[in-house]
Amino acid sequence: MPGPAPVPHGRRSLRPLAGVLGATAVSVTGTRVSAIALPWFVLVTTGSATQTGLVAFCEMTPYVLVKALTGPLVDRLGPRTVSWTTDALSATAAGLLPLLHSLGLLPFWLLLVLVAVVGAARGPGDLAKEVMIPEAAESARVPLERATGLSGVVERLASTLGPALGGSLVALTSPLTGVVVNAASFAFGSLVIALVLPRGMGRSVPDDRAPEDEPAPGYWKSLGEGFTFLRGEPLLLTIIVMVGITNMLEAGFSTVLIPVWARESGAGPAAIGLISSASGVAAVCGSLIAAAVAHRLRRRLVFFTGFLLAGAPKFIALASGAPMAVVVAVFAVGGFGGGFLNPILGAVSFERVPRRLLGRVRALGDSLAWAGIPLGGLLAGAAVASAGLVPVLLVAGGTYFLTTNLAGLRPEWREMDRPTAPLAAED
Asked whether the predicted pLDDT for residue 214 surpasses 60, the reply is no
Give percent of the chain above pLDDT 90. 20
Residue 395 or residue 302, greater confidence: 395
Nearest C-alpha neighbor of 337 from the set 308, 301, 358, 357: 308
Q: How far, in Å, CA of 159 to CA of 155, rounded?
A: 6
**278-307 pLDDT tens trace:** 887 888 888 888 777 766 777 788 888 888
Q: According to the model, what pLDDT value does residue 425 have?
A: 40
| Contact between residue 106 and residue 257 where contact means Cβ atoms under 8 Å apart | no
**99-121 pLDDT tens trace:** 998 888 989 999 999 999 999 99
Torsion sign, CA atoms 344, 345, 348, 354: negative
Asked whether the predicted pLDDT for residue 9 surpasses 70, the reply is no
| Contact between residue 60 and residue 382 where contact means Cβ atoms under 8 Å apart | no
247 residue type, one letter: N
Q: How far, in Å, CA of 46 to CA of 43, rounded?
A: 5
Task: Identify each DSSP E strand in 78-123 by its residue range.
Answer: none
Q: How confident is the model at residue 200 (pLDDT cuts 50, 70, 90)?
A: low
Q: How far, in Å, CA of 144 to CA of 138, rounded?
A: 8
Asked whether the predicted pLDDT for residue 365 surpasses 90, the reply is no
User: Mean pLDDT in the chain?
Assistant: 82
| Contact between residue 3 and residue 296 where contact means Cβ atoms under 8 Å apart | no
Class at the top of the CATH hierarchy for domain 15-203+218-417? mainly alpha
**What is the crossing angle of helices 15-46 and 144-172, to 10°?**
30
**44-66 pLDDT tens trace:** 877 777 788 788 788 888 888 88
Average pLDDT rounded to a whole number, residues 187-204: 80
Asked whether the predicted pLDDT for residue 91 surpasses 90, the reply is yes
Q: How far, in Å, CA of 405 to CA of 266, rounded?
A: 34
Highest mean pLDDT among 132-146, 260-274, 383-397: 383-397
Average pLDDT rounded to a whole number, residues 229-236: 86
| Contact between residue 377 and residue 60 where contact means Cβ atoms under 8 Å apart | yes
* pTM of structure: 0.69
Q: Domain extents for the chain?
A: 15-203+218-417
CA 190 to chain centroid, in Å, comes to 18
| Contact between residue 151 and residue 133 where contact means Cβ atoms under 8 Å apart | yes
Q: According to the model, what pLDDT value does residue 294 have?
A: 63
| Contact between residue 166 and residue 280 where contact means Cβ atoms under 8 Å apart | no
If you compute the radius of gyration of the chain from its CA atoms, what whole number of angstroms results? 21
Average pLDDT rounded to a whole number, residues 352-369: 82
Average pLDDT rounded to a whole number, residues 402-407: 81
Q: According to the model, what pLDDT value does residue 215 have?
A: 56
Q: Is 420 helix (H, G, I), strand (E, B) or coil?
A: coil
